[in-house]
Chain A
């Protein structure tokens, strides 16, 4: 019998917009078993599946999808975990529409299989089943590896190398593990309990986690090299960029990193129960168009803002954020001011932001990135009221390690130079990956870099003379 092709994906149950802007709980509620099986059944089971090509960590996608169809969820999650230590995280924050789902054959005529949602379903199913399966860990090799940073890249390397029998210690600068997953991505998109769960899983493989340790300051890379056989640097994107326009040091102007860290890591939204304060202004303007801009705007709404604007210099088409996040923000009432460029921030006599001056833009010829270049329209200056502004235009890599590690080659933008295929740096025994190499990018690309580096580190360790 020929299977009837179902072109429509099952929608994800979500909290209603009017409800969710009043809480920090997760917006997307996840598939039920029934919905997951129905969605998985849409998979055509291609002889030559293209979806896997789109995955930076090469998950056996057809394998886990067919396991869901057969309702063998334990087998499904086992397949994912063979190559991905963070399925609950990836199922939520990966840009699947640009990766696995982009190459799904169903996507040519209809909607691709919701691979990310199915991955999330299996991870959540395992967590709620109460028994977390662990792959076998190889016999100890006696080799010690230090990992700098407990974000997606660091955790991936820790997972891969721990399974191969190496002794792993992760050094984390902050007081909680997870890197950007903890301080950056908000609770309503990625609950911190899930990050904690995945970090606990990696710890259960024997990985040691050393918090409150700033490599480059508490100990240098050279110092670590005295006791470890290899070091993997995944220190993340450090210094936030500002627009470099007048008035950026006014009170009420935040980097997205500060705004989100106050809220997520420090739990400012629960002030005064938690001590770290965060302002709750009524008109908030966010600069930028990426996922972090969406996160900042939606956080502002939940903190009680009456009006939240996203000011972006290009048009909706060019927004780098995931479509799903843009739609969520629109549903929640975020106002988008496209083709708008802030040129000056204006404050009152006490140094607090009150207004911004902007220019209208129009799209001109395509630039190096292939996107049409925004060009200011002469005489189009106008003012907007704002009592808080959040700059969400990117970060440069953290400078602490390059500053304190002689012989480590650094690129023009302050990024650590590492081989794309192996993650090797200019220093023997030192690898690097994630945002500290590429500048701010995605969770999964950091994990992909971690995967490659882990392979290279393992080869180095087993070939090393003892």
Chain B
């Protein structure tokens, strides 16, 4: 059993989730994920890691409450235990001195982007961070990014913070900010990563995305996380989760991610008022 150290909603629907897992904390790197199971009946869910403390033996993720299983995670309190917390899984994000790197984060991906930006900065890169959200109240961890980035740019759909609009404005923003990235790294929902990749393709800047398919074992055994990259079938859990966003068959990926949408929300449909009494 693994003890929950912290579980807190930091912005609406997004939770910071810290678990005591010393062996994971010892070997985890930016870009890795863990697999968690909230209880003995629960399913195995991949969560990207957002931070860790090897001395305290803790690992932190940011997750979004969507369906029944994430709702179970969202009900956990410090001191509770969960039966499964395994990792680190997946290949780490490649870190070296690329020159200038633009880190783009949205939603739960802002969390997993943070250790990437931190490692890139430590490797001597010029790091610019672009945080994207529907509205200013959904942005978080700007203070952390300030410490590991040369600049932090905000982009909100309603314009309540930073630039107004969507990631499709990326080219224009880069011109205005006078940033010429050698590499772009995007962490976030599938839609953000897909849109960002489509925008950066004509710019001919390599764009790395951190894929988030359905998984079960997370060790290469089941193959449910497969996706097409440059015409070849890859398993996100062992070949990724980082891939070149310009090579991914996004249409197929989006469809595969929706396989269990009805089942995902099934428990929520059943949790009407009656079930609370």
Q: Mark B24-62, 1 if CB is under 8 A from A, else 0.
A: 100100000000010001111000000000000000000
B221 touching A218, Cβ below 8 Å: no
CB <8 Å contact, B255 and A251: yes
Q: List B contacts of A219 (CB < 8 A).
A: 23, 27
- What class of interface size applies to chain B in its complex with A? 35 or more
A173 CB contacts on chain B under 8 angstroms: 86, 217, 219
Q: Is the CB of B216 within 8 A of A266?
A: yes
- A217 nearest CB across to chain B (Å): 6
Q: Is the CB of A242 within 8 A of B223?
A: yes
- Over the window 62-98 of chain B, the binary record of Cβ atoms lying under 8 Å from chain A Cβ atoms (1 yes, 0 no) is 0000001100100000000001111111000000000
1/0 per residue, CB under 8 A from A, across B233-256: the answer is 101001000000000010010011
CB neighbours of A266 from chain B (8 A): 43-44, 216
List chain A residues, Cβ under 8 A from B255: 251, 350-351
Contacts A217-B89, A248-B233, A400-B238 given; indicate if A257 touches B222 (C-beta within 8 A). Answer: yes
Q: Flag the segment in B99-107, B174-182, B201-209, B260-268 that touches A.
A: B260-268
Residue B135, interface by CB 8 Å = no
**B80–chain A nearest beta-carbon distance, Å:** 17
Nearest-CB residue, chain A, relative to B90 = A217
Structural contact, A258 and B223, CB atoms closer than 8 A? yes
Which residues 238-272 of A sit at the B interface, judged by CB distance below 8 A?
238-240, 242, 244, 248-249, 251, 254-255, 257-258, 261-262, 266-267, 271-272
Contact with B along A174-189 (1 / 0, CB 8 A): 1100000001000000
Q: Does B220 count as interface, using CB distance less than 8 angstroms?
A: yes
Whether, in the assembled complex, B139 has its beta carbon less than 8 Å from a beta carbon of chain A, the answer is no
Q: Is A218 within 8 A of B24, CB to CB? A: yes
- Checking B226, B227, B260 against A277 with a beta-carbon cut-off of 8 angstroms, the contacting residue is B260
Residue A213 at the B interface, CB < 8 A?
Answer: yes
Looking at the assembled complex, report how far the CB atom of A413 sits from the nearest CB atom of chain B, in whole angstroms. 14
Q: How far is the CB of A157 from the nearest CB of chain B, in Å? A: 20
Which chain B residues lie closer than 8 Å to A403 at the CB level?
Answer: 238
- Pairwise interchain contact B216-A258, C-beta atoms closer than 8 A: yes
Select one of B27, B69, B228, B259 contacting A218, CB under 8 A: B27
Q: Does B224 contact A (CB under 8 A)?
A: yes
Residues of the B chain whose Cβ atoms lie less than 8 Å from the Cβ of A242: 223, 233
Distance in angstroms from A91 CB to nearest chain B CB is 26
**Distance between A181 CB and nearest chain B CB, rounded to angstroms:** 14
Determine the chain B residues whose CB is within 8 A of the CB of A277 once the complex forms: 43, 260, 263-264, 266
Return the chain B residue nearest A255 by Cβ: B223
B41–A273 CB distance below 8 A: yes
Interface residue from B23, B43, B86 paired with A276 (Cβ < 8 Å): B43
For B41, list chain A residues within 8 Å (CB): 267, 273-275
- Pair A258/B224 contact, Cβ less than 8 Å: yes
Size of A's binding interface in residues, CB under 8 A: 41
Contacts of A267 in B (CB 8 A): 41
A212 in the interface, Cβ–Cβ < 8 Å? yes
CA of A212 to CA of B266, assembled, Å: 28
Give the chain B neighbours of A410 by CB distance below 8 A: none
A274 to B42, CA, bound (A): 6
Contact, CB under 8 Å: B222 / A261: yes
A398 within 8 A of B: yes
B24: chain A residues within 8 A (beta carbon): 218
A179 to chain B, nearest CB (A): 10
- How far apart sit A364 and B246, CA to CA, in the bound complex (Å)? 45
Which A residue's beta carbon lies closest to that of B72?
A: A275
A251 to B259, CA, bound (A): 6
Q: Which residues of B contact A106 (CB under 8 A)?
A: none
- Once A175-B86, A217-B88 are accepted as A-B contacts, the answer to whether A275 and B220 lie under 8 Å apart by CB is no
Residues of A within 8 A of B224 (CB): 254-255, 258
CB distance from B250 to the nearest CB of A (A): 12
Measured CB to CB, the residues of B under 8 A from A are 23-24, 27, 37, 41-44, 68-69, 72, 83-89, 216-217, 219-224, 226-228, 233, 235, 238, 249, 252, 255-256, 258-260, 263-264, 266-267, 270
> A interface vs B, CB < 8 Å?
173-175, 183, 211-214, 217-219, 236, 238-240, 242, 244, 248-249, 251, 254-255, 257-258, 261-262, 266-267, 271-277, 350-351, 398-400, 403
19 A-B pairs, CB-CB below 8 angstroms? A173-B217, A175-B37, A175-B44, A183-B217, A212-B84, A217-B87, A218-B27, A239-B235, A239-B238, A251-B258, A251-B259, A257-B221, A267-B41, A276-B43, A277-B266, A350-B255, A351-B252, A351-B255, A399-B220
CB-CB nearest 6 A-B residue pairs: A351-B255, A277-B263, A212-B86, A258-B222, A255-B223, A276-B43
